[in-house]
Chains A and B, each alone.
Chain A
Amino acid sequence: MLHLTWFFRIIRDVAVYGWKNRSFGLAAMILVLLGIGLIIGAAAVSAPWIYTLF
Chain B
Amino acid sequence: MNILGVSALYHDSAAALISNGEIVAAAQEERFSRKKHDERLPLGAMTWCLEEGGVPKDGLDAVVFFDKPLTKLTRMLETYGQVAPRGLKSFMAGVPIWLKDKGWVGMQIEKHLRRIGYQKPAKFYFPEHHQSHAASAFFPSPFEEAAIITADGVGEWASTSIGKGEGNRMELTVEGRFPHSIGLLYSAFTYYTGFKVNSGEYKLMGLAPYGEPVYVDRIKEKLMRIHEDGSVWLDMSYFGFLDGFRMTNEKFDALFGGPRRKGESELTKKEMDLAKSIQVVTEEIMLKTARYARAITGKRNLVMAGGVALNCVANGHILREGIFDDVWIQPASGDAGGALGAALYVWHQALGKPRDMSKAKPDFMCGSALGPGFTNEQVKAFVESNGIPATFMPDEQRNAFLAENLANEKVVGLLQGKCEFGPRALGFRSILADARSEKMQSFLNLATKFRESFRPFAPICLKEHAHEFFEKIHDSPYMLLVDQVKASRCTKGTADEHKLGMVEWVNRSRSDVPAVTHVDYSARIQTVDRDRNARLHDILTAFHQRTGYPILVNTSFNVRSEPIVCTPSDAYRCFMRTGIDILVLENYVLTKPEQPPWKETKSWQEEFGLD
Total interface residues on A, CB under 8 Å, equals 17
- Nearest chain B CB to A31's CB is how many angstroms away? 12
Contact A26 B77 (CB under 8 A): yes
When chains A and B are docked, how far (Å) is the Cα of A23 from the Cα of B107?
25
Contact A30 B106 (CB under 8 A): no
Q: Which residues of A contact B110 (CB under 8 A)?
A: 2, 6
9 A-B contacts (beta carbon < 8 Å): A6-B104, A9-B106, A13-B70, A17-B70, A26-B78, A30-B77, A33-B95, A34-B99, A36-B99
Q: Which of B64-97 contact A (CB under 8 A)?
A: 70-71, 73-74, 77-78, 95-96
- Nearest chain B CB to A27's CB is how many angstroms away? 9
Known: A2-B110, A2-B111, A6-B107. A23 touches B74 (CB 8 A): yes
Whether a CB of chain B sits under 8 angstroms from the CB of A10 is yes
Whether a CB of chain A sits under 8 angstroms from the CB of B127 is no
Q: Which residues of A contact B111 (CB under 8 A)?
A: 2
- Nearest chain A CB to B175's CB is how many angstroms away? 16
Whether a CB of chain A sits under 8 angstroms from the CB of B59 is no
Contact B107 A3 (CB under 8 A): yes
Q: Which residues of A contact B74 (CB under 8 A)?
A: 17, 23, 26, 30
Known: A23-B74, A26-B77. A37 touches B107 (CB 8 A): no
Q: Which residues of A contact B71 (CB under 8 A)?
A: 17
Closest residue on chain A to residue B104 by CB atoms: A6
Q: Which residues of B contact A14 (CB under 8 A)?
A: 70
Whether a CB of chain A sits under 8 angstroms from the CB of B100 is yes
- Nearest chain B CB to A2's CB is how many angstroms away? 6
Closest residue on chain A to residue B98 by CB atoms: A33
Q: Which residues of B contact A30 (CB under 8 A)?
A: 70, 73-74, 77
**B78, B95, B103: which has the most chain A beta carbons within 10 Å?**
B103
Taking A26-B77, A30-B73, A34-B99 as known contacts, 20 extra A-B pairs with beta carbons closer than 8 A to each other, sorted by chain A number, are: A2-B107, A2-B110, A3-B107, A5-B107, A6-B104, A6-B107, A6-B110, A10-B70, A10-B104, A13-B70, A17-B71, A17-B74, A26-B74, A29-B77, A30-B77, A34-B103, A36-B99, A37-B96, A37-B99, A37-B100
Over the window 1-29 of chain A, the binary record of Cβ atoms lying under 8 Å from chain B Cβ atoms (1 yes, 0 no) is 01101100110011001000001001001
Residues of B at under 8 Å CB distance from A? 70-71, 73-74, 77-78, 95-96, 99-100, 103-104, 106-107, 110-111, 114
Q: Which residues of B contact A17 (CB under 8 A)?
A: 70-71, 74
Q: Which residues of B contact A29 (CB under 8 A)?
A: 77
- Nearest chain B CB to A36's CB is how many angstroms away? 8
Known: A2-B111, A33-B95. A10 touches B103 (CB 8 A): yes
Closest residue on chain B to residue A10 by CB atoms: B103
When chains A and B are docked, how far (Å) is the Cα of A47 from the Cα of B169?
52
**A3, A23, A34, A37: which has the most chain B beta carbons within 10 Å?**
A37
Q: Which residues of A contact B73 (CB under 8 A)?
A: 30
Closest residue on chain A to residue B95 by CB atoms: A33
- Nearest chain A CB to B108's CB is how many angstroms away? 9
- Nearest chain A CB to B189's CB is how many angstroms away? 33
When chains A and B are docked, how far (Å) is the Cα of A3 from the Cα of B554?
48
When chains A and B are docked, how far (Å) is the Cα of A9 from the Cα of B109?
15
When chains A and B are docked, how far (Å) is the Cα of A26 from the Cα of B95?
14
Closest residue on chain B to residue A6 by CB atoms: B107
When chains A and B are docked, how far (Å) is the Cα of A30 from the Cα of B103?
11
Q: Which 6 A-B pairs have the closest CB atoms?
A: A37-B99, A6-B107, A13-B70, A26-B74, A17-B70, A2-B107
When chains A and B are docked, how far (Å) is the Cα of A5 from the Cα of B120?
12
When chains A and B are docked, how far (Å) is the Cα of A26 from the Cα of B100?
19
When chains A and B are docked, how far (Å) is the Cα of A17 from the Cα of B77?
14
Closest residue on chain A to residue B70 by CB atoms: A13
Q: Which residues of A contact B95 (CB under 8 A)?
A: 33
- Nearest chain B CB to A33's CB is how many angstroms away? 6
Contact B106 A6 (CB under 8 A): yes
When chains A and B are docked, how far (Å) is the Cα of A2 from the Cα of B110?
9
Q: Which residues of B contact A34 (CB under 8 A)?
A: 99, 103
When chains A and B are docked, how far (Å) is the Cα of A37 from the Cα of B96?
8
When chains A and B are docked, how far (Å) is the Cα of A29 from the Cα of B114?
32
**B99, B104, B106: which has the most chain A beta carbons within 10 Å?**
B99
Q: Which of A25-54 contact B (CB under 8 A)?
A: 26, 29-30, 33-34, 36-37
When chains A and B are docked, how far (Å) is the Cα of A23 from the Cα of B73?
13
- Nearest chain B CB to A4's CB is how many angstroms away? 10
- Nearest chain B CB to A13's CB is how many angstroms away? 5
Q: Which residues of A contact B77 (CB under 8 A)?
A: 26, 29-30
When chains A and B are docked, how far (Å) is the Cα of A10 from the Cα of B70?
8
